[in-house]
Amino acid sequence: MIFKSITITEGQKSKTYTFSENANLIHSNDNTVGKTTLLRLMLYSLGYPIPNTKNIKFEKCSTQTILEEKSITYHIKRENEYLIVNEGTKSDYYILPAELNQFHSLLFGTQDNDILNNLLGTFYMDQEKGWTLLNRGKVIGSIGFNIEQLILGLSGRDYEKLQAELQLLERDIKKYQQMKDVAQYQQEVYEEKGDIIHDTYDESLQRDLAVCSFDVKSLRRELTQVTNTLSDNISIGKFIEKMSLRVKAPDGTEIPVNKDTIVGLIDNTDFLLSRKKLLVAQISKLDQQITKLRNLIYYQSQQPTSETLIEAFDKNLSQISIDAVAVDNILNELNTRQSEVKRALTELAKNNNSILEDMYDIIETYGIELGLTKYMSSGIGFVFTHNLKELSGATLMKMVFAFKMSYIKAVDSVLNVKLPIILDSPSGKEMDKDNIQKLMNILDRDFSDHQIIIASIYDYSLKNLNRIEMGRRVVC
């Protein structure tokens, strides 16, 4: 995947940046002139929910990005929560964030959400968190990365039931922890009030699920109709303009027939876009409700007593008597089960998995080259390591680099996609020139068929390097 160019517009100001398909250095002699902002806007232009930088609000900007993937050129325009994607004569509209993965499935050639949700963490290293994110954590803003999910997605292994249980366990642990924190205070209050009668759980989850499912099907049918009508409107407008038709008024004046002179065409298109946005939002909300209801139905069947306590706590916090001993016992059980489920997910990803084996081989190879072997344990289990206490400074940065390169190779082997490699400020205060050059040598040697984009105040030795010198601001 190649970034060809990006045009950023802020108010009346606009600027275009053009990139080489090889190595690119976004450079300035000083910090705080927009290098990080440019990288983030590139990702923002692909629909990601990227946080603003200090001096520019992304939602106030529009971006137009030209992207090339497998000889297909995409023209992508983003304005706040709208994406317009042109591929040849075809145009598609996406509303963010609900349709983000639908758009990314087009770019990356997969509909697997476990892969799509974790791709950014494979190829982008943010200056704040990216160089310390090894295999789990936040990539940037609210965007997370999880190595188990990525490997399970790349391997095509089903873990939906385990994931649903894990999410429910995490939710319940959080709530029981809150109960534990207030237990002593509540005990003093309730001792004065006497016994409390607990409400019972009397909602019909199955009925609610049926209603939500019916509603979402109806909305999806309407969304399909609106999307098709919107596409037809656009096609008709383009067709009429190509015909170069004109109409003659009673006074003899000739008026060109186009989208601006056809009464109601633009208003109708705007109405359809607004209606599509509303429908997408309603469907997204109902999908979340359906997922919640299904999880509640499943978990209630497994642990009805535990669920009853949680519902009583949620609804009647001011009236419920909390048994601190019981809460502690339940917390211990939930934490134990959470550990078991996490181990089961890891084992599912590990067992007889050639993708994982290839990942480890790459990490081991780069670990030897970068002088990291004394910090590594043997075997594929190291890919899932939680032990980062011994890693810091340059050692951690080099280890993160080795892991990320293995992720990029794995994605390429499964999806046949050459992800760009985007590095923000790789020359940390603890990375000397020798270590930096080792990383650059690996990029030159093993990733010459990937686009490389680096933002830094330093210079780097890379083949066919395209330098982009920054001005005072990204848009000026």
Q: What is the pLDDT of residues 17-31, one digit of tens each?
A: 999 999 999 998 887
Rounded to whole angstroms, what are the CA distances from 466 to 33, 65, 415, 427, 444?
Answer: 19, 18, 28, 18, 14
**Residue 203 clears pLDDT 60, i.e. is over it:** no
CA angle 452, 443, 470 (to 5 degrees): 35
pLDDT of residue 107: 94
pLDDT given at position 372: 93
The pTM is what? 0.72
Cβ pair 334, 173 in contact under 8 A: yes
Q: What is the mean pLDDT of residues 297-319?
A: 57
* pLDDT for position 54: 84
Strands 421-424 and 452-456: parallel
pLDDT digits (tens, 9 = 90+) for 371-405: 999 999 888 999 998 887 778 888 999 999 999 99
Cα–Cα distance between 138 and 124 in angstroms, integer?
A: 12
Query: Do 1-109+417-476 and 199-320 come out as alike in CATH topology?
Result: no
Q: What integer best gives the mean pLDDT of the chain?
A: 86
Residue that is written with structure tokens 């994931």 in the block = 163
- Segments making up each domain of the chain, as ranges: 1-109+417-476, 199-320
| CATH superfamily assigned to domain 1-109+417-476 | P-loop containing nucleotide triphosphate hydrolases (3.40.50.300)
pLDDT tens for 74-133 read 999 999 999 999 998 899 999 999 999 999 999 999 999 999 999 999 999 998 888 889
Is the pLDDT at 273 greater than 90? The verdict is no
What is the fold of 199-320?
Answer: Helix Hairpins (1.10.287)
d(C-alpha 62, C-alpha 8), whole Å = 6
Look at residue 232 and tell me whether its pLDDT is greater than 60: yes
Q: Which residues are CB-contacts of 57 (< 8 A; sequence separation ≥ 6)?
A: none
| Res. 233: pLDDT tops 80 | no
Distance separating alpha carbons of residues 370 and 364, to the nearest angstrom: 10
Q: How far apart are CA 136 and CA 128, in angstroms?
A: 15
Residue 197 in this model has a pLDDT that exceeds 50: no
- 14's CB contacts (< 8 A; 6+ apart) are 7, 8, 475
Comparing 141-150, 166-175, 295-304, 321-330, the range with the smallest average pLDDT is 295-304
3-state SS assignment for residue 124: strand
- State the Cα–Cα distance between residues 127 and 130, nearest whole angstrom: 6
CA dihedral for 283, 289, 295, 300, sign (positive or negative): negative
